[in-house]
């Protein structure tokens, strides 16, 4: 995994390895040290019922925002939570958003976690981004679903 340069792919590889032989990894398998320097670009969502009551449990410093409107990177990831929970699969999403009022391009993943192997109780998010270059047009959001 050290050879993989892309954050989302590293997170997806770790998640897949932990899920080997079962449906979802458990929360206690996700440790800050395991994500190492990547943790600054990760977040953890506690899933509640109804899903609209779900909330951030941890947000890495590169994703942290005081408020979380829908066009921030953390807000964009959170907006996909209902789909991840109902579809019970990973989601990789790419597109444009804002972070600290700066337009960005991003790529992110939402990876379900479960204590009992069935009910999704947490979702690990990982996202990387870069600021838009002046005069660069924002891109439309694209979504890649990964069934497990």
pLDDT digits (tens, 9 = 90+) for 64-99: 654 455 556 777 788 889 999 999 989 998 887 777
Which helix (H) or strand (E) segment holds residue 33: the answer is helix 32-35
Q: Are the C-beta atoms of residues 83 and 138 closer than 8 Å to each other?
A: no
Q: Judging by DSSP bridges, how do beta strands 102-113 and 122-131 pair with one another?
A: antiparallel
CATH of domain 7-146: 3.30.450
**Helix, strand or coil, per DSSP, at residue 73:** helix
Which token pair is 66?
């005081």
Least confident of 10-24, 27-41, 61-75, 110-124: 61-75
Task: Give the burial class of 127: count Cβ atoms within 10 A of its Cβ; 0-12 exposed, 13-18 middle, 19 or more buried.
Answer: buried
Domain ranges of the chain: 7-146
Is pTM beyond 0.75 here? Answer: yes
Q: Above pLDDT 90, what percent of the chain?
A: 24
The pLDDT of 106-121, averaged and rounded, is 91
Least confident of 16-20, 58-62, 108-112: 58-62
What's the mean per-residue pLDDT of the chain?
Answer: 81
Of 60, 140, 63, nearest to 100 by C-alpha is: 63
Which token pair is 47?
């899933």
Task: Give the burial class of 115: count Cβ atoms within 10 A of its Cβ; 0-12 exposed, 13-18 middle, 19 or more buried.
Answer: middle
Of 13, 39, 9, 15, nearest to 27 by C-alpha is: 15
- Sheet of strand 142-146, all strands in order from the earlier edge strand to the far edge: 55-59, 42-46, 122-131, 102-113, 90-99, 142-146
């Amino acid at each position: 995994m050290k050879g993989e340069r892309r954050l989302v792919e590293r997170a997806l590889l770790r998640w897949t390895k932990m899920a080997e032989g079962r449906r979802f990894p458990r929360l206690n398998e996700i440790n800050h040290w395991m994500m190492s320097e990547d943790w600054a670009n990760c977040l953890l969502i506690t899933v509640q019922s109804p899903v609209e009551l779900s909330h951030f449990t941890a947000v890495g410093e590169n994703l942290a925002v005081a408020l979380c409107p829908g066009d921030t990177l953390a807000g964009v990831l959170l907006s996909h939570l209902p789909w991840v929970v109902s579809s019970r699969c990973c989601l990789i999403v790419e597109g444009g958003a804002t972070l600290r009022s700066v337009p960005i391009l991003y790529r992110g993943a939402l990876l379900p976690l479960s204590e009992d192997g069935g009910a999704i109780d947490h979702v690990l998010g990982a996202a990387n981004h870069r600021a838009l270059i002046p005069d660069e047009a924002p891109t439309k959001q694209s979504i890649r679903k990964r069934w497990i």
